[in-house]
Amino acid sequence: MAVRDRVARLLDEMPREAQFPSQGATLFVDLERRETRQAFTPLAVVRTVLGGRGANMYYLHRLLDETLTPLDPGIPLIFGSGLLTGLVPSAARGNCTSWSPESGVLLDSNAGDYFPSFLRMNGFDHLVLYGQAAAWTLLMIRDGVVSFEDATPYAGLDNLDMREAVARDVGGTWARNLAMVNITRAGENQVLTSGIMAGPKAIYARGGPGAKMGSLRLKAIVTLAPTRELPTAQPYKVYNRTIAQKLLATSVVKNALSKTGTPFLYKPSRLLGAMGTKNNQETTWSDGLDAEHFDAHRPGMAGCFRCPVNCRPLNDLHSATPDKYDQGDGPEYVTLGKFGPNLGIDSVASVIRLNNICNDLGLDTASTGSAIGWAFELFQRGIITAEHTGGITLTWGDAETIERLLFQMARREGFGSVLAASTRAVEQGHYPAVALKYRIAVKGLGQSDPHDARILKAFALGLAVATRGMDHLRNRATLEINARINDNPVFKSELYGGAVSAEPNSYVGKERAVRACENIYAVGDSVGMCRFTTKLFNSPSLPGLPEFREQLANVTGLAFTDEALEQCGLNVMGVERMINHRLGVRRKDDTLPDRWFDEPNPSGPFRGERIDRDEFDAMLSRFYAISRLASDGAPEDAWRKELVGALGRDR
């Protein structure tokens, strides 16, 4: 059945009126025919998986045709904002969902800045895009009115120039009434590590969403409208103050995130011997990249719509001969790790410059850093040579060559074209099969963050079972690294709903920690709350289910219990696993890179630590049992039937 027929059938089932106060419509956009239709997410779906990421899964579950390929225009690209996005402090987020051309499994990526909130100000909670436009197209949403505009003049523009051109042509002001998601040349060229930019730095990064958007010939989606109040069931701003106070009183926000942003995470990983270095061959690196060395280059902080945290460090290199990459936004810890130790770079200035270039080129720093690190190790081992690289010598720490490779990637020139294949370089015939032994990836996705998880078994399990591939933002039990929590077993049990060993390298009970985190993070994404400010991610005292429940009642009028919300989180994971199952994912794919099983950690207080295959397998079985998963990795039959009952059949 073609995507248009699937959309038509789905629309037949969807209500034409909002189901609760504040609900925005879902806009279906046929880019080939330049047609739009709209309807509202059914209440039964919202009760099962909420909005944002959860409702995106409903749309993908219903519209996915797994007999196609990810870049086929019949595979939709879906944007969704959370149920509280734009209304609650730090709920500035939205998700972008599809079938990943990079990993071959679920694509689901989250971003903040202003677009997810401003989309709602224009009356839309979700966009479902499909069909290939005849020429480069800009989808304009002006005061809720949608038009298809010619984007040919913008073709070939990267992020900095694109933002300047659109602000000039459209006439709005960023962060006041204008927001945009757009691709760069990398997306146009379907580079598999390309993201969709959502701001100067904000990016829907993981899984190659830029390539997917490029395959639809959609250059950008622009919203232009004054911010407005959405109708809500009850007053909610008084409780917003409670949430904001809770955010700002939390130690990690007050003493770290608001001051330096995430780069302060570098030092603890380094001191633990868990800093992925040179493609995880080593696990500690220079103190020269500790957060305080970025102080002189940080003129201020920025943030997302109505977020009081302002966690995003700006940068200024103060070069004697500045160019357009002298100033920018970031880096986050992920970029610092992936373009610092992962590539053997120990210069703050080099990391900042490469960060600024990636932001302009629209490259996911996690996947791009992973692809480059992998190539460098292959070169070091002689598995690839200068013959493969077009004569370029790959030397750890050579920032100039890495800069050159980034531009080659975006343009798909020379060896950049090989790097643009990301984790698929073997499958596409660029590297010999032996290269897979050194690929740090799970389910076809390179690791998101630089944390080497041979020590912390809960981190390792999370990376193995994450539905989008090797990514810490789906379920990381980050508090496993905090000694005061490990040393308080009663409190720790309360946090995770059962006993979890205090020892970071023990396997005992770690499935509980991952399960609890996966649930609450899925709820957070589905209401639009930032991960940084969701309970269990970085602090036990940040807003969690009770706060979400309270504001959902105020904003939407929908009553949930904390248990019902927890079930929604589990359901989101369940639908994602149903989608992955259709894409061929099985239990064997819930695993880790060979290196972590086979090679002991070479440094730090846990020197010698690795993942034991039998212990890991037993932990995975326990995780399946508490997650209602069958032995094939999909929801067990009774639960699958419940989900299909609420969401409808997949075909």
Partner 1 sequence: MPLAVTVNFPAALQPAAGGASLVVREAVASVGQLIEALERLAPGLGKELDDPLYNVAVNDEMILHAVDRHPIADGDRVEIVPTMAGG
CA–CA–CA angle 596, 600, 603 (5° rounding): 115
Of the candidates 299, 245, 280, the one whose C-alpha atom is nearest the C-alpha of residue 446 is: 280
Q: Mind giving me the DSSP string for 520-567?
A: HHHHHHHHT--GGGSTTSS-TTS--HHHHHHHHHHHH-----HHHHHH
Contact region with partner 1 (CB under 8 A), list: 12-20, 39-47, 114-122, 474-482 = 474-482
Query: DSSP letter at 194?
Result: B
CA of residue 559 relative to chain centroid, distance: 29
Is omega for the bond preceding 331 within 30 degrees of 0, making it cis?
yes
Among positions 473, 523, 579, 620, the unique one binding partner 1 when judged by CB under 8 A: 473
Q: Which does 502 bind (CB under 5 to 8 A by kind): partner 1, ligand SF4, none?
A: partner 1
Residues 390-449 close enough to bind partner 1 by CB under 8 A: 449
H or E element: which one contains 182?
A: strand 178-182
Q: How far is the CB of 475 from ligand SF4 (least distance, A)?
A: 18
Interface with ligand SF4 includes 639 (CB under 6 A)? no
Residue 548, exposed/middle/buried by CB under 10 A (0-12, 13-18, 19+)?
A: buried
Among positions 169, 503, 599, 612, the unique one binding partner 1 when judged by CB under 8 A: 503
Q: How far is the CB of 457 from partner 1 (least distance, A)?
A: 12
Sheet holding 301-302, edge to edge: 301-302, 312-316, 327-329
Contact region with partner 1 (CB under 8 A), list: 41-49, 404-412, 496-504, 586-594 = 496-504
Instruction: CB nearer to partner 1: give 274 or 442.
Output: 274
Strands 25-30 vs 124-130: parallel, antiparallel or unpaired: parallel
CB 339 within 8 A of CB 365: yes
Instruction: CB nearer to ligand SF4: give 112 or 543.
Output: 112
Interface with ligand SF4 includes 527 (CB under 6 A)? no
Interface with ligand SF4 includes 112 (CB under 6 A)? yes
Question: How many Å apart are CA 372 and CA 394, to the nearest integer?
Answer: 9
Q: How far is the CB of 529 from ligand SF4 (least distance, A)?
A: 8
Interface with partner 1 includes 532 (CB under 8 A)? yes
Strands 218-224 vs 137-142: parallel, antiparallel or unpaired: parallel
Those residues with Cβ within 8 angstroms of residue 462's Cβ, 6 or more apart along the chain or in another chain: 472, 474, 475, 476, 477, 514, 517, 518
Q: Which amino acid is at 640?
A: R
Q: How far is the CB of 497 from ligand SF4 (least distance, A)?
A: 26
Instruction: CB nearer to ligand SF4: give 92 or 378.
Output: 92
x/- letters, 267..306, toward partner 1 (CB under 8 A): xxx-xxx------------------x--------------
Interface with ligand SF4 includes 92 (CB under 6 A)? yes
Contact region with ligand SF4 (CB under 6 A), list: 80-88, 303-311, 364-372, 441-449 = 303-311
Q: Mind giving me the DSSP string for 260-282?
A: H-GGGGHHHHHHHT-B-BTTTTB
Instruction: CB nearer to partner 1: give 286 or 401.
Output: 286
Q: Which does 138 bind (CB under 5 to 8 A by kind): ligand SF4, partner 1, none?
A: none
Q: Which does 271 bind (CB under 5 to 8 A by kind): partner 1, ligand SF4, none?
A: partner 1
Residue position matching structure tokens 């998601």: 181
User: What is the torsional sign of CA 436, 187, 586, 573?
Assistant: positive
Q: Which does 478 bind (CB under 5 to 8 A by kind): partner 1, ligand SF4, none?
A: partner 1
x/- letters, 304..343, toward ligand SF4 (CB under 6 A): x--x-xxxx-------------------------------
Interface with ligand SF4 includes 265 (CB under 6 A)? no
Among positions 119, 406, 485, 575, the unique one binding partner 1 when judged by CB under 8 A: 485
Residue position matching structure tokens 């005992």: 508
Residues 138-157 close enough to bind partner 1 by CB under 8 A: none
Q: How far is the CB of 214 from partner 1 (least distance, A)?
A: 28
x/- letters, 451..470, toward partner 1 (CB under 8 A): x----x--x-----------
Total residues binding ligand SF4 (CB under 6 A): 13
CA–CA–CA angle 485, 524, 644 (5° rounding): 120
Question: How many Å apart are CA 368 and CA 338, to the nearest integer?
Answer: 8
Instruction: CB nearer to partner 1: give 214 or 604.
Output: 604
Interface with partner 1 includes 525 (CB under 8 A)? no
Q: How far is the CB of 54 from partner 1 (least distance, A)?
A: 21
Helix (H, G, I), strand (E, B) or coil at 204: strand
Contact region with partner 1 (CB under 8 A), list: 120-128, 262-270, 565-573, 588-596 = 262-270
Q: Mind giving me the DSSP string for 211-274?
A: HHHHHTTEEEEEEE----PPP-SS--HHHHHHHHHHHHHSHHIIIIIHHH-GGGGHHHHHHHT-
Residue position matching structure tokens 């099969």: 433
Among positions 94, 104, 303, 569, the unique one binding ligand SF4 when judged by CB under 6 A: 303
Q: Which does 158 bind (CB under 5 to 8 A by kind): ligand SF4, partner 1, none?
A: none
Torsion, CA 285, CA 289, CA 290, CA 291, rounded to 10: -150
Strands 218-224 vs 301-302: parallel, antiparallel or unpaired: unpaired
Q: Which does 494 bind (CB under 5 to 8 A by kind): ligand SF4, partner 1, none?
A: none
x/- letters, 241..260, toward partner 1 (CB under 8 A): ----------xx-xxx--x-
Contact region with ligand SF4 (CB under 6 A), list: 32-40, 341-349, 487-495, 528-536 = 528-536
Those residues with Cβ within 8 angstroms of residue 377's Cβ, 6 or more apart along the chain or in another chain: 278, 279, 281, 438
Instruction: CB nearer to ligand SF4: give 92 or 405.
Output: 92
Give the largest Cα separation in the chain, rounded.
66
Rule CB under 6 A: which residues touch ligand SF4? 90, 92, 112, 303-304, 307, 309-312, 530, 532-533
Rule CB under 8 A: which residues touch partner 1? 251-252, 254-256, 259, 261-265, 267-269, 271-273, 292, 332-334, 449, 451, 456, 459, 472-473, 476, 478-487, 502-504, 531-532, 537-540, 604-605
